[in-house]
Structure 1
Amino acid sequence: MMTKYAAQPEPVYLNPEAVARAVGGKARGNKVTCHAPGHRKGSPEVSITVDPSAPRGLLVHCFSGEDPVEVKDWVLRMCGEPDFSPGVKSDRTQPTSHLRLVHKEEPPRAFSDRHLIAQGYRHAVTYDYADANGEVVFEVLRYEHDTLAKTFIQRRPDGHGGYLAGRGEPILYRIPDIAANTEDPVFVVEGEKDADRLASLGFLATTVPNGSWPEELSALSGRRVFVLADNDATGDKKSKLAAEKLAGIATVSCIDLPGLLEKQDVSDWLDAGNDADALVALCSSADPIPANDNEPSAPAFSIFDWTVDRFVGEAPAVEYLVDGVMPLGVPGMVAAMGDTGKSYAMLELHRRVSFGSSMYAPPVFGGKVIAEGVSVMVTSEDDRGEVHRRIASLDPHGERHTSAGKRMIVVPMPSAGGARAYWKEDRKHGLIETDDFKRLCDQLKSIDGLRLVTFDPLASFAHLPLNEDPAAGQFVCTSIGRLTSETGATILTAHHMRKLQKPIETLGDARDAIRGSSALVDGLRWVYAMWPADESRAKRVCKTLGIEFSPGKVVLGGVVKANGAARRVVTTYVRNEFGLLVDRTAGLSASAPPQGDLLQALAMAIGAAAAAGSPFTKTGAGGLFEMKERLPDELKALSKGRIDHLATQALEQGAVVRAAAKGEKTAKWLDVPGGMFAIGLGNFNTGSPR
């Protein structure tokens, strides 16, 4: 049956200046920046792209950790629009309240320089930008002043002997020269003056108007290009931008001219006594920048090399970071509602991976940390002071001041230069991994014994519409998966969950509440969700544990996605005096398990025993009642008939399965679905009952 696709929404044209006024920000082109709600100091935390093709005419990114959809709701409300729902078009047929934002095309204006002349400027020179046929497309006019800095304005022919203000789309400078000579190399410089100076020496040279690179660069396709930057920070940025724009189009080298003072350029270098021969000699020894297109492709493979007879001997056991719950060496996600405490819990996970974990420590993320090594956490939400306070509360005995401290790396981005974009969309190349991400990957790959890496939160590092575009979500997941395979570490991202109208009852409900397109969850191999317990359940838990109830005190969590063996049970967390979530599932009685009865506790005990290589049987010498000293307290006091009835219920509901050990034919051992015995790979520990 043919799939019926939803009609694309009509384009929405908004005026960036009006949007900026509505949110109290600043507009630059089609970009608007502003502070997020509740923020007033420092750099703007919200970036808004005014794009007619985007849902409701806006793409909104927030770099301070707030829920991106809630921030978009705030922007729309400030503009007088209803809240945003991904994939749902506004039901307004006549959006009268935002008509003041609708962009109207301004009529062309006649060119005038009277404002500059009135200030004492004088017209110094005109630079013609012509197409390959020599027809002038627009002009850049340079104005000079006795005491003020030089300035430039642009104009274009109106077809009647006059000029209109502005230039239209940019083109390269001196295209006719480049088109007429396809053999010589081309020099890219920062301004028309420098390009003309090089041309006077017989070189091919070009620049772009006001730093604006055109989309059309075919004139430089296949050419040898040398980029000559001015000697300052701006020059470095423009040189790097030129190399990026020409990557895959031309063979590019960036040349540092020796002996330049701050802010000097190639004209100054020539005025200092250097000549054309010196420039040629300098460029002849320059190595080209490797282009993306020149990177080696993945080696070819043959499907006939992968017949199943190559898999000989004993299959490798699954390695875990958190025993039976979180595999080692997989890409994953921890998703939670706002103010749940996921970042603190993830920091504790890093501490245990790097410092080791006591056998008496409560579980973390549903199990015991069994893989130790180096961990790296990159957080954009907490500054150096907050990280210090949290580490101090987690490490009261000062283990961080021993050799173990070198194994735990926590980078507070607000104190390390601000959050960086690791994934973004480039106008020319589409979805890309940024240079910042590639540099980080190189550092991570150099670490021996790397076990865990976390990006918290994902939205601060992925400057992409993750909540709206499945392709963006899949791109980020693929990138993280590749880094996982290159490092062998578990790589986690922190992400948001939606606030629902009704309480989350099951792990399936929790999975459905994760923000963004399904590509985010589907593209990762392991996902853990955390959400606050509803008030009645939380009060019941607090009463059972004998602690005082307060809002947000009790949090539930569990694995909602796993490609492979992982215990899928709901864990109950209680916030301690420092705000850290502590697993208290084992201490709850029959009235407290979040799924309403003792089946939850029984399934968890059965799964843990099987994962430890000592599985239960339903009855007999290894039976649940016969081995009840290994069960949690809430089950130990039950009669044999009650335990047998619970086991029967668990089997009927699929919470528990019968399984055969490796090499056995009889399915008598109990395990949870997806456990090692359940998939036929279970091994017994020495001394376990057989």
Structure 2
Amino acid sequence: MQTRPAVQLDPRAIAAALGGTARGNQISAPAPGHSKRDRSLRVLLDPTAPEGFIVHPLAGEDPIEMRDYVRTRAGLPDWEPEHAAKPQPTAHLRLVKKAEPPKAFSDWHLTSRGFSHVATYDYTSADGEVLFEVLRYEHPTQPKSFLQRRPDGDGGYLSGRGEPLLYRLHELATNTDDPVFAVEGEKDADRLASLGYLATTVPNGSWPEDLTALSGRKVYVLADNDAAGDKKAKTALQNLQGIAVVARIDLPGLPPKGDVSDWLDAGHTVEELESICSSAPPIAANDNDPLPAAPLSIFEWPVSRFVGEPPAVDYLVDGVIPLGVPGMVSAMGDTGKSFALLELHRRVAFGQGTFAPDVFGGKVTAIGTSVMITSEDDAGEVHRRISALDAKAERFGPAGQKMIVVPLPSAGGARAFWRDDKKKGLIETDDFLRICDQLRTINDLRLVTFDPLASFAHLALNEDPAAGQFVCTSLSRLATETGATVLVAHHMRKTQKPIENLGDARDAIRGSTALVDGLRLAYAMWPADEARAKRVCKSLGQEYVANKVVLGGVVKANGPAKRMVSTLVRNEFGLLIDRTSGIGAAAPAQDDLLGALIVAVEAAAASGHPFTRTGATGLYAMRDRLPTELRDVSRHRLEGLAATAIESGRIQLCLATGTTAKWLDVPGGQFAIGLGEFRKGAAR
């Protein structure tokens, strides 16, 4: 027998040509038309194989086409049949079969066994010409079956089909504006089309290379509720990456093995379907090129869509840090914010006891997985801090898998998540997009922290408002997609005079105002002045040392939040412990109480149960409706605070009934502009 000459190929060179990676003589690379991170094309370099390599397409591509693709990308010589070694006529070698001629279509093998032909689905060109058909067969006791056939040009049919196509392609080509539903089967596509929607699928799960009809469009992938449906939905998302703005939809209440037709048959409405789809976040592209934005329709947002009771605010830290929002924890250097954040992560992952002191001004109420990525502390420092926090060694139990701390100095070094590209402008980097992809796979994710922001944002945050807004928008999208609170640790600048209230603390946060304004929450921490710190230490019976006492509080919130200053005292490990309760020397300052009063007045008026300054509906008489820090304030001081707020214009006396302006509201509130309405029922 003639021996085939060995072909030696360089795995690194082949991997680079294919945009993949090499491990030994095995190469993993993206298949044609797939994203840069796809690894569904495997190439094995074998000197004894024809041309020196063997291909393994894992996504269903034709192996011969994939050989041509590898040969072309790697710059290898074209395959020449006459150079191929001819097999010798030995008995143990099989002869190569010739291509069989096309067969006439027949469904006798199904109908003879009791199957009935129940539906025919035409696959047409963009011009409406039928190129092949999919036929559906059902049986009383056996699973459904499908056959494919194509016209033979003489009025009959041949078995099989040509290249795959998008189902209902003619309609997609005719209407290029409406969103498209991608479903698992033709039956569901026809059901949605009968309701006036654009819908498509692919024959037998085979996606065509030409997806021009979906380019730049909004596509909702409706997943069936079984393992096969999940797999096909993931395949659809993979094929549509970088082509369309795609969102996966898992319909609520879908029975096992159910599809959208079953969901509609159960009584769900198209209005529900539209609402679910319109609120679904798009799947982030694997590539760094942004997907085209879906067109905005103002007519999709009439107030009539907001039906029933509004959703309650869910908190990560009760009354302080909401769940599922982007926020910031800002502090001066050497304050201890990183250690405090680590303790917050521990409580989210491990839970906390009933009598545990507050953290960041409240009790942790959301338990689940937490992820902290720090670019300042190495593995050794994280180990020391975790050991100090986890005295009961809970990290070695199941809860230890719920708390993830990534020390970048020990994990390949710091890296940029946001930067300014000379060609593309402000971008999210591939590193950030990979992290986001991983975070979205965590079902019970509750908290994500990047510490500190400056290490991850290689942008001019201090000078450029656009840079700050870009980062905030990125964090907001991540919080929305994961449902987790996403915090960044940030720095405050040193001030010439001590910080006296929450307003001073907010002004001391570094960066343009766009950075704070663009986030839903900002929590600040700063050292107490020496006199206040000594009073706190004395009341606790502890020795005063510099930087032992730290103050903290919410300096910006887009919703209800406790506007009070917490007093934090370092323990023997350097962890800040909330000692606000019972420390008379650390009672809230005047400005903090005033801020809390204004928030309470605003909330009461918005609820239709406004306060008056005095009387039966006055602040003191109704003090059980006030925040905790105001309930123990004397009547004289409480009414004095209201007078101060009225004099400064931060609270207004409003006319609602009668001729006396007595109802309290903030400027611009409903009662302040004359539109306030009193609501029946108990005030909340």
TM-score range, shorter chain: 0.5 to 0.7
Q: Structure 2: 5+ residue runs without aligned partners? A: 1-10, 56-62, 74-208, 210-237, 246-291, 655-659
| Amino acid corresponding to residue 45 of structure 2 in structure 1 | G
| SS at 2:449 equivalent | strand
The answer to whether the 8 Å contact 1:586/1:633 transfers is no
* 1:351 aligned residue: 346
C-alpha distance in 2 between matches for 1:672 and 1:571: 25
Counterpart amino acid of 1:294? I
Task: Note if 1:333 corresponds to 2:282.
Answer: no
Structure 1 residue 543 displacement after superposition: 3.1
The code of the aligned residue for 1:284 comes to: D
- Which residues of 2 match residues 388-467 of structure 1 at below 5 A? 388-467=383-462
The match for 1:370 is 365
* Contact kept? 1:603, 1:655, Cα under 8 Å: no
1:328 and 1:647 mapped to 2: Cα distance? 32
User: What is the match of residue 481 of structure 1?
Assistant: 476
Closer/same/farther in 2, CA of residues 314 and 504 from structure 1, 3 Å limit:
same
Which of 589, 597, 605 is 1:595 aligned to?
A: 589
Residue 259 of structure 1 aligns with an amino acid whose one-letter code is L
Instruction: Encode CA deviations 1:177-203: one digit per residue, 9 max, x unaligned.
Output: xxxxxxxxxxxx999xx9xxxxxxxxx
1:320 Cα deviation after fit: 1.7
Shift of 1:363: 2.1
Q: 1:510 aligns with which of 505, 514, 523?
A: 505
Between the aligned partners of 2:305 and 2:626, the Cα distance in structure 1 is 42
Tell me how far apart the structure 1 counterparts of residues 420 and 590 of structure 2 sit (CA, whole Å). Answer: 47
> How far apart are the structure 2 equivalents of 1:648 and 1:465?
43
1:473 deviates by 2.3
Work out which of the residue numbers 268, 279, 284 in structure 1 matches 2:68: 284
Preserved CA contact (<8 Å) 1:371 1:451? yes
Q: Give the letter aligned to residue 386 of structure 1.
A: E
State the alpha-carbon separation in 1 of the partners of residues 507 and 325 from structure 2. 21
- Report the CA distance between 1:672 and its aligned residue: 11
Q: Measure the CA separation in 2 of the matches of 1:522 and 1:605.
A: 18
Q: TM-score, normalised by structure 2?
A: 0.53
Task: Give me the whole-angstrom Cα distance separating, in 2, the residues matched to 1:507 and 1:258.
Answer: 63
Q: Please name the residue that 1:586 is paired with.
A: 581
1:551 corresponds to which letter in structure 2?
A
Distance 1:291 1:498, change over 3 A: farther
The TM-score with structure 1 as length reference comes to 0.52
3-state SS of paired residue (1:587): coil
Give the 3 Å change call, closer, same or farther, for CA 650–472 of structure 1 in structure 2. Answer: closer
1:550 corresponds to 2:499: no
Q: Does the CA-based 8 Å contact 1:658-1:669 persist in structure 2?
A: yes
Q: Distance in 1 between matches of 2:570 and 2:381?
A: 18
State the SS of the aligned residue for 1:318.
coil
Partners of 1:674 and 1:398 in 2: CA distance: 53
Distance in 2 separating the partners of 1:657 and 1:227:
69
State the alpha-carbon separation in 2 of the partners of residues 303 and 689 from structure 1.
Answer: 34
Does 2:465 match 1:470?
yes
Structure 2: which amino acid aligns with 1:332?
G
The answer as to 2:89 corresponding to 1:305 is no
Residue by residue over 1:376-402, the C-alpha shift from the partner in whole angstroms, topping out at 9 and shown as x without a partner, is 111122222322222222232233333
Match of 2:168 in 1: none
Q: 1 CA distance for matches of 2:678 and 2:370?
A: 29
Residue 51 of structure 2 is aligned with which of 238, 249, 274? 274
Deviation (angstroms), 1:671 = 11
Query: What is residue 383 of structure 1 aligned with on the other side?
Result: 378
Deviation at 1:588, TM superposition (A): 2.8
In structure 2, the CA distance between the partners of 1:689 and 1:429, relative to structure 1 (3 Å rule), is closer
1:404 deviates by: 2.5
Change (3 A) 1:364 1:446: same
2:423 match: secondary structure: coil
Provide the secondary structure at the position in 2 that maps to 1:442: helix
How do 1:495-644 residues align onto structure 2 when only pairs under 5 Å count? 495-589=490-584, 592-593=586-587, 595=589, 599=593, 641=636
Report 1:7-86 matches (<5 A).
none
What's the RMSD between the two structures over aligned residues?
5.4
Q: What is the 5 A alignment of 1:188-337? A: 227=18, 258-259=44-45, 274=51, 282-284=66-68, 294-296=243-245, 297-337=292-332
> How many aligned residue pairs are there?
449
CA separation of 1:231 and 1:412: change in aligned 2, threshold 3 A: closer
Q: Distance in 1 between matches of 2:634 and 2:460?
A: 55
**Change over 3 Å in CA distance of 1:276–1:259 after alignment to 2:** closer
Deviation at residue 342 of structure 1 after TM alignment: 0.6
**Paired residues of 1:378 and 1:456 also in contact (CA < 8 A):** yes
- Asked whether the 8 Å contact 1:320–1:327 carries over to 2, the reply is yes
Task: Give the Å deviation of 1:337.
Answer: 0.9
Structure 1 residue 420 displacement after superposition: 2.6
The one-letter amino acid of 1:472's match is A
SS across alignment from 2:380: helix
Mapped to 2, the partners of 1:394 and 1:355 lie a distance apart of: 11
Alignment partners' CA distance in 2, 1:479 and 1:632? 33
Q: CA distance change for structure 1 residues 443 and 275 in 2, over 3 Å: closer, same or farther?
A: closer
Check 1:424–1:308 CA distance in 2 against 1; reply closer, same or farther (3 A cut). Answer: same
How far apart are the structure 1 equivalents of 2:593 and 2:459? 42
Decide whether aligned partners of structure 1 residues 629 and 538 sit closer, same or farther in structure 2, where only a CA change above 3 A counts: same
Q: CA offsets, 1:201-225, max 9 Å, x none?
A: xxxxxxxxxxxxxxxxxxxxxxxx9
Query: Could you tell me which amino acid in structure 1 is paired with residue 381 of structure 2?
Result: E
CA positional deviation for 1:499: 1.4
Change (3 A) 1:453 1:604: farther
Q: Is the 8 A contact 2:502 2:592 kept in 1?
A: no
1:459 and 1:527 mapped to 2: Cα distance? 16
Cα pair distance change 1:276/1:364, threshold 3 Å? closer
Distance 1:636 1:253 in 2: 62
Task: Name the CA shift for 1:446/1:540 in 2 (closer, same or farther; >3 Å).
Answer: same
Could you report, residue by residue, the CA deviation over 1:212-251 in whole angstroms, capped at 9, with x for unpaired residues?
xxxxxxxxxxxxx964889689x999x99xx9xx999x9x
1:31-60 Cα offsets, whole Å, 9 max, x none, are: xxxxxxxxxxxxxxxxxxxxxxxxxxxxxx
Note the C-alpha offset of 1:357: 2.8
Question: For residues 669 and 403 of structure 1, do their structure 2 counterparts lie closer, same or farther at Cα, with a shift above 3 Å needed?
Answer: farther
Cα pair 1:420 1:461 within 8 Å, conserved: yes
Confirm or deny: 8 A CA contact 1:615 1:669 kept in the other structure. Answer: yes
Name the CA shift for 1:627/1:351 in 2 (closer, same or farther; >3 Å). farther
Local SS of the residue matching 1:359: coil
